[in-house]
Structure 1
Amino acid sequence: MPPRAEAAAAYLQAFVLSGVAAVLLTRAYLQATGYPQLGGGGLHIAHVLWGGLLMAAGLGVALVFLGGAARMTGAILGGIGFGLFIDEVGKFVTTGTDYFYAPAAGIIYGVFALLVVITQAVRGRTRLLPAERTANALDAVLGGLINGLTDRRRAEVLRLARGSGALTEAAVAGLLDAVPRREPPPPRFWQPWLARLRRFVIGLTAQRWLVSLVVVYLVAEPALTLIGVLLDGVTGALDQEREWGAVLGVSASALVTAVLSVTAAFRLRRDPVDAFRLFKLAILVDLLFGQIFNFTVNQFGAVTAVGADLFLLAVVTAEHRQLRREAERPASAPGAPRTG
Structure 2
Amino acid sequence: MRRLRMARITSAAAHLQVFAIAGISAVLLIRTYLISTGYPRLGQGDLHIAHVLWGGLLMAAGLGVTLAFLGDAARTWGALLGGVGFGAFVDEVGKFVTEQNDYFYRPAAGIIYMVFAAMVVLAQWLKGRVEFTDTERTANAMHAALVGVTSGLTAEQRRGAIRLLQDSGDPLDATTLRLLGMVPARTAAGPLKLWASDVLARLRRLAQHPALVVIAVGYLVVRAPLPLVGIALDSFYDSLDGESEWGAVIGLSASAAATVLLCLWGAIKFRRDRLAAFQALNLALLVDILFGQVFAFILNQFSAVPGLCADLLVLAILSAVIRHLRQQRAG
TM-score calculated relative to the size of structure 2: 0.90
What is the CA-CA distance between 1:105 and the residue it aligns to? 0.5
Whether 1:38 aligns to 2:42 is yes
Match in the other structure for 1:158: 162
Match in the other structure for 1:307: 309
Match in the other structure for 1:67: 71
CA distance in 1: counterparts of 2:153 and 2:197, whole angstroms: 24
Match in the other structure for 2:254: 252
Map of 1:1-340 to 2, 5 A cutoff?
A: 1-150=5-154, 153-165=157-169, 167-176=171-180, 179-180=183-184, 184=188, 186-188=190-192, 191-192=194-195, 194-329=196-331
Q: Deviations over 1:268-320 (max 9, x none)?
A: 11222221111111000000000001111111111111111111111222222
1:161–1:97: structure 2 CA closer, same or farther, 3 Å change rule? same
| DSSP-derived class of the 1:124 partner | coil
CA distance in 2: counterparts of 1:116 and 1:84, whole angstroms: 18
CA distance in 2: counterparts of 1:106 and 1:24, whole angstroms: 14
What is the CA-CA distance between 1:186 and the residue it aligns to? 4.4
| DSSP-derived class of the 1:127 partner | coil
CA distance in 2: counterparts of 1:183 and 1:96, whole angstroms: 58
| DSSP-derived class of the 1:22 partner | helix
What is the CA-CA distance between 1:176 and the residue it aligns to? 4.1
Q: Is the 8 A contact 1:6 1:126 kept in 2?
A: no
Q: Which amino acid aligns with 2:239?
A: A
| DSSP-derived class of the 1:99 partner | coil
CA distance in 1: counterparts of 2:189 and 2:13, whole angstroms: 23
For structure 1, the 5+ residue unaligned runs are 330-340
1:228–1:186: structure 2 CA closer, same or farther, 3 Å change rule? closer
Match in the other structure for 1:333: none
Moved more, 232-241 or 258-267: 232-241
| DSSP-derived class of the 1:108 partner | helix
CA distance in 2: counterparts of 1:150 and 1:323, whole angstroms: 31
Q: Deviations over 1:86-124 (max 9, x none)?
A: 000000111111111111111100110111111111113
Q: Which amino acid aligns with 1:74?
A: G
Moved more, 106-115 or 119-128: 119-128
Q: Which amino acid aligns with 1:308?
A: A
Q: Is the 8 A contact 1:287 1:306 kept in 2?
A: yes
Q: Deviations over 1:27-49 (max 9, x none)?
A: 11111221112111211111111
Q: Which amino acid aligns with 2:62?
A: G
1:150–1:115: structure 2 CA closer, same or farther, 3 Å change rule? closer
1:155–1:231: structure 2 CA closer, same or farther, 3 Å change rule? closer
CA distance in 1: counterparts of 2:187 and 2:147, whole angstroms: 16
1:278–1:150: structure 2 CA closer, same or farther, 3 Å change rule? closer
CA distance in 1: counterparts of 2:7 and 2:222, whole angstroms: 48
TM-score calculated relative to the size of structure 1: 0.88
RMSD: 2.3
- The percentage of counterpart residues that share the same residue type is 51
| DSSP-derived class of the 1:95 partner | coil
For structure 2, the 5+ residue unaligned runs are none
